[in-house]
Structure 1
Amino acid sequence: MKLETLQSIRERRSIRAYRPEQISREELDTVLEAGTWAPTGMGRQSPKMVAVQDPETIALLSRLNARVLGSDTDPFYGAPTAVVVFADPEVPTWLEDGSLVMGTLLLAAHAAGLGSCWIHRARQVFETAEGKALMKRWGIPDRFVGVGHCILGYAAGEAPQPKPRKADYIVRD
């Protein structure tokens, strides 16, 4: 049994405060490569990942996300990198495939010593005219749907403590 994998699963937390310095290309490549190994239905590998480190584009993504949220705060928590995961809704397992990529990115980030957090509302962001323009710029087909934003960076503090596991999480027959 790969105990270090279970340890990473137990230790990973959503980080909501980041230092401003950019992560290294090697760290980003490590996380992205892990995402390519996420399980997908029938091995179709239907999701696409867009790695964003340009500060202006990060700021735009954050503003678009905040608009959907109806908030003035930065929903990206100052993270210097975001990986946007898209999936093809013509594939029956598109949502599961994209979600597994997101989960794999989060675990890989922790294993690489990075902070990460799944930021929702990607579907709504990429339904907007501005979101569609970004998709076109990135070469993502118009039919694809945003699954999530995986923000990455160096944590600006300690990871939060885990919540206790609920008593009825597991049901045995």
Structure 2
Amino acid sequence: MIVNETLKTIKQRRSIRSFKDEQIREEELQAVLEAGLYAPNAGDQSWHFTVVQNRELLDRLNLAAKEVAKQMEMEHLRKLGKNEKFNCLYGAPTLIMVSGNEHAPVPLEADCAAATQNLLLAAESIGLGSCWIFFVLLAFYSSEGSELRKQLKIPEGYRPYCSAVLGYKKATVVNVPDRRKPNLITYIR
């Protein structure tokens, strides 16, 4: 089996949902963002990253997303929306939203997802905790959605497709056993 630092980072990365209050250092943020910019894409890098480190705005995004979740058909999401203790950002000090140009000639969800994966792997490689967050995107369907887009300075014609939180891990992550499902690969040789 081939092993190197990149493959080790991929295998050891876990979603972190418990963060220290301390903000990440600027050089760590810049390293993660640069990795996101180097993600594979359909050729025109039609994405935009929005970094949110303002606690008041992070709390507002959480509450707006929860308001939308309370009205959703999926019972699981409704329960989370009604749970006063639930914070969809898990108290992380940094949120990165990845928006895509809605007028790009190719599906942007894939480009934004690739950039988000690079963000997560870069965070792990430098010792930061991270978690891919869908729930917070519900905030843009709230009554505050338009105002939030303006406050976050999301460019006109761009839509938030993905997001991730970053911070210092509150606890050491124990290496959990591999839980990959069997039979996910078919070979035709």
TM over 0.5: yes
Aligned to 2:41: 40
Q: Which runs of 5+ in 2 are unaligned?
A: 71-80
2:167 pairs with 1:153: yes
Written as runs of structure 1 = structure 2, the 5 A alignment for 1:18-167 is 18-41=19-42, 43-70=43-70, 71=81, 72=84, 73-91=86-104, 92-159=106-173, 161=176, 163-167=178-182
Checking the alignment, whether the CA contact within 8 Å between 1:114 and 1:153 is kept in structure 2 is: yes
Which amino acid is the alignment partner of residue 20 of structure 2? R
CA distance in 2, matches of 1:123, 1:59: 13
CA distance in 1, matches of 2:90, 2:178: 21
Identity percentage over the alignment?
37
Alignment TM-score, normalising by the size of structure 1: 0.90
CA deviation after TM superposition for structure 1 residue 164, in Å? 1.6
Alignment TM-score, normalising by the size of structure 2: 0.83
Q: Which runs of 5+ in 1 are unaligned?
A: none
Q: Which has the larger radius of gyration?
A: 2
- For these two proteins, the number of residue pairs brought into alignment is 172
Cα RMSD between the aligned structures? 1.9
SS of the residue aligned with 1:107? helix
Decide which moves more: 111-120 or 157-166: 157-166
Checking the alignment, whether the CA contact within 8 Å between 1:13 and 1:162 is kept in structure 2 is: no
Which amino acid is the alignment partner of residue 21 of structure 1? E
Inter-CA distance 149–67: structure 2 relative to 1 (3 Å threshold): farther
Which amino acid is the alignment partner of residue 107 of structure 1? L
SS of the residue aligned with 2:164? strand
Checking the alignment, whether the CA contact within 8 Å between 1:15 and 1:155 is kept in structure 2 is: yes
